[in-house]
């Protein structure tokens, strides 16, 4: 635990000087959410970070929130139409029945242990009746647990997706769409990303770009993966 906390503090600065909306996971998130997202919808992007997904949906009707002030500062530079709020996913500072759609991409992994029900309950409280909630979360799988550097270096969590779905349904959602994507190439691209970021101190390189293209193709294939769960749920 001490080693993990040391690595988090040493290796976890805001790395990108701009949103990374072009990485494979964000691109697939856009594809996955396309059928549910409408331009006129009032949107909340929970845990927006530097605005990687906010940049895709940037608009006057978009609210993005995060606890990291440095990340929000970067997001504001590139997402000029959206509204930003410093807040926690565990205590959303909004009234009941406010939003038409809500996104929580790659946020569940960073939540404290046993707080996911609290976060999902807050999401449900602030969504309108019949509104949609979309999320992605790392899947608990022996290969993912070995190959995902975020799991053992940053303490990112992986989930038993069947258990997570039961928790979500218990809070008051019905699952509209569910898929597990990403496999060997996707996980290898993450390891290469960490190598560039923390060893070479570079943002991109030809090798990483090559694996990003392969990873994007893998994520978009119909073959079942084992790395990330993508869920679309409706408030009931």
HEC-encoded secondary structure of 31-95: HHHCCCCCCCCCEEEECCCCCCCHHHHCCCCEEEEECCHHHHHHHHHHCCCCEEEECECCECCCC
Instruction: Supply the mean pLDDT for the chain.
Output: 90
Asked which of 9-13, 43-47, 112-116, 231-235 is least confident by mean pLDDT, the reply is 9-13
Q: Tell me how many domains the chain contains.
A: 1
Q: Which domain holds residue 169?
A: 2-235
* Contact between 111 and 89 (Cβ < 8 Å): yes
Residues 146, 149, 150, 152, CA torsion sign = positive
**Greatest C-alpha distance within the chain:** 48
User: Model's pTM, two decimal places?
Assistant: 0.91
How do 127-138 and 228-235 pair as beta strands? antiparallel
What pLDDT score does 227 carry? 96
* Contact between 71 and 14 (Cβ < 8 Å): yes
Q: What is the CATH number of the domain that holds 32?
A: 3.40.50.150
Query: What does the block give as tokens for 207?
Result: 């090798």
Q: In angstroms, rounded to a whole number, what is the distance separating the alpha carbons of residues 88 and 80?
A: 22
Return the beta strands (E) in the chain as ranges: 43-46, 62-66, 83-86, 99-105, 127-138, 173-181, 228-235
Q: What is the pLDDT of residues 138-189, one digit of tens each?
A: 999 999 999 999 898 888 999 999 999 999 999 999 999 999 999 999 999 9
Q: What is the pLDDT of residues 77-109, one digit of tens each?
A: 999 999 999 999 999 999 999 999 999 999 999
Beta bridge mates, 132: 101, 234
Per-residue confidence at 16, pLDDT binned at 50, 70, 90? low
133 pLDDT above the threshold of 60: yes
């Amino acid at each position: 635990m001490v080693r993990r906390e040391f690595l988090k503090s040493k290796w976890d600065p805001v790395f990108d000087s701009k949103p990374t909306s072009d990485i494979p996971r964000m691109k697939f998130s856009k594809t996955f959410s396309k059928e549910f997202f409408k331009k006129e919808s009032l949107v909340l992007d929970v845990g927006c970070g530097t605005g990687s997904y906010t940049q895709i949906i940037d608009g006057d009707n978009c609210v993005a929130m995060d606890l990291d002030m440095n990340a929000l500062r970067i997001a504001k530079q590139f997402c000029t139409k959206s509204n930003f709020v410093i807040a926690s996913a565990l205590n959303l500072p909004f009234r009941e029945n406010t939003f038409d759609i809500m996104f929580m991409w790659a946020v569940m992994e960073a939540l404290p242990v046993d707080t996911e029900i609290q976060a999902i309950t807050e999401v449900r409280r602030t969504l309108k009746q019949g509104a949609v909630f979309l999320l992605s979360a790392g899947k608990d799988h022996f290969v993912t647990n070995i190959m995902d550097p975020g799991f053992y270096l940053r303490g990112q969590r992986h989930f038993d997706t069947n258990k997570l779905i039961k928790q979500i349904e218990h809070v008051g959602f019905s699952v509209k769409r569910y898929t597990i994507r990403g496999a060997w190439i996707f996980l290898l691209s993450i390891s290469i990303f960490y190598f560039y970021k923390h060893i070479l101190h570079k943002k991109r390189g030809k090798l990483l770009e090559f694996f990003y293209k392969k990873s994007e193709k893998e994520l978009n294939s119909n073959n079942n993966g084992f790395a990330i769960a993508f869920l679309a749920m409706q408030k009931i």
